[in-house]
Amino acid sequence: MAGKEGQQHPIGVYLKIWALLFIFSTFSYLVDYFHIQGYLRWFLILLFMVLKAGLIISVFMHMFWERMSLICAILVPPLCLLVLVGLMTQEAGYTEDSRIVYYGENPNLEPNHPPSHQEAVEEPEGASSQQ
């Protein structure tokens, strides 16, 4: 029992994963080759990146054969970071919208200051002379 070897994986598994990584990388380069633009470009690049990262983590880092507790210990912190990045993205949109309201559409102009309390209380010039 003391001389028992660790789990061995056939070399074919690693070669198949290596081939899939090569195919996903080829697709990723084809996105640029065919000049795909806009959100579709970024979606495809990120999709292939996540697929490649998942294959590398699961097979080459042996996460596919590990216990669930170890998998959670390694994968949960990056997922929490992704949630925080999503929340920061939402806050950035709110900040940008409030800056547009305050500065206007042209950021080079002076800010539109809200009227002070004194300006709001003062009577119009012609109102006192009419009485």
4 falls within a domain:
no
Question: Are 72 and 55 within one domain?
Answer: no
Asked if residue 86 and residue 54 are part of one domain, the reply reads: no
- Answer whether residue 1 shows pLDDT above 50: no
Report which of residues 5 and 91 the model is more confident about. Answer: 91
**Residue indicated by tokens 């990262």:** 53
* Domain that residue 47 falls in: 9-65
The better pLDDT of the pair 37, 102 is held by: 37
Reply yes or no on whether the pLDDT at 35 is more than 60: yes
Regarding whether 25 and 42 lie in a shared domain, the answer is yes
pTM for this predicted structure: 0.56
Tell me whether residue 91 is in a domain.
yes
The answer on 13 and 59 residing in a single domain is yes
The DSSP 8-state label assigned to residue 107 in this structure reads: T
Residue 102 lies in a domain: yes
Q: Which of 36-40, 68-72, 94-98 has the highest mean pLDDT?
A: 36-40
Question: Are residues 53 and 88 part of one domain?
Answer: no
Q: CA angle 67-72-75, nearest 5°?
A: 120
61 in the same domain as 18: yes
Longest dimension (CA), the chain: 108
How many domains, in total, are found in the chain? 2
Q: Picking from 10-24, 34-48, 91-105, which range would have the lowest pLDDT averaged per residue?
A: 91-105
Claim to verify: residue 13 and residue 51 sit in the same structural domain = yes
CA–CA gap between residue 103 and residue 73 (Å, rounded): 45
